[in-house]
Structure 1
């Protein structure tokens, strides 16, 4: 269903998001995912899963409502911009934004699993999941801190 995101759970973020079953050659990934509202809905569900997770919730402890809203908007804008949408991502680069958080490979993999669950909930098609995963997977080198 157009406007609904789905993600295949895989190893970490190697999975990709898909929203629309039919792929048109002239449609951007942003359009195939259903646009801004679909990306925002997926982001809201995903961040809720992270915050509620026994281990990953620690990354959200102490955030004010304003800070949590800013994180949410940065995630939406990043996905929107990277998938060919009209958004402008104004946040810091991933390495700077996550430095000192001590995010482990285990944390990264669990995050990918939760993202997959969100994509499943929204029934994102396989091709979109793969394409989105191709954008997200390489971020591990900037987010996961080696030696943690």
Structure 2
């Protein structure tokens, strides 16, 4: 399987997941709240370990989803791209976009999604799954909203129908 084929097939999940992660712990004191506001989203989410766990769970929820797989292009892409490879790239993307030290090496969202014909309904389903996974991992409201804002910023490059 060629690297470019894998990157093309992973496009939808990469964009969807790049904003996923969960904190190991959240401070409750007012001093911690001030420090929290000054920290990067990456740090507030707990760093690479919890990000990778949430990304893994998110991809595991997306891959078998019947609503998303009803789109033949998404279904075909999922069959070409191994889930562990996707998890690796998505974890790097989330790490980078939240202020962590990782460097995402994949393609941009627009070119990697153009052939998938993502609809508004499919986008909505992905966001719903994303919110469920974030809730499962008890991601705090502020961080959840910041992640959703990041995901929303990619919508114009991903939704084509």
**Residues 94 and 142 in structure 1, CA contact (< 8 A), matched pair in contact too:** yes
Q: Secondary structure at the match of 1:62?
A: helix
Instruction: Say whether 1:132 aligns with 2:157.
Output: no
Runs (4 or more) in structure 1 with deviation over 4 Å come to none
Q: Which residue of the partner structure matches residue 28 of structure 1?
A: 40
Deviation at 1:64, TM superposition (A): 4.5
Q: Which runs of 5+ in 2 are unaligned?
A: 1-19, 28-32, 70-74
TM-score, normalised with respect to structure 1: 0.79
Instruction: Say whether 1:50 aligns with 2:50.
Output: no
**Residues 98 and 143 in structure 1, CA contact (< 8 A), matched pair in contact too:** yes
Distance 1:17 1:37, change over 3 A: closer
Find the aligned partners of 1:59 and 1:40 in 2 and give their Cα distance: 25
Distance 1:59 1:140, change over 3 A: farther
Q: Which residue of the partner structure matches residue 79 of structure 2?
A: 62
Deviation at 1:61, TM superposition (A): 3.8
1:83-137 CA distance string (max 9 Å, x none): 1100001110000111110110100000000001101110100010111112111
Structure 1 vs Structure 2 CA RMSD: 2.4
Find the aligned partners of 1:103 and 1:42 in 2 and give their Cα distance: 23
Q: Which residue of the partner structure matches residue 105 of structure 2?
A: 90
TM-score, normalised with respect to structure 2: 0.73
Q: Which runs of 5+ in 1 are unaligned?
A: 1-15
**Residues 28 and 84 in structure 1, CA contact (< 8 A), matched pair in contact too:** yes
Deviation at 1:21, TM superposition (A): 3.2
Between 1 and 2, higher relative CO (CA 8 Å, sep ≥ 6) is seen in 1
Question: Which structure: larger Rg?
Answer: 2
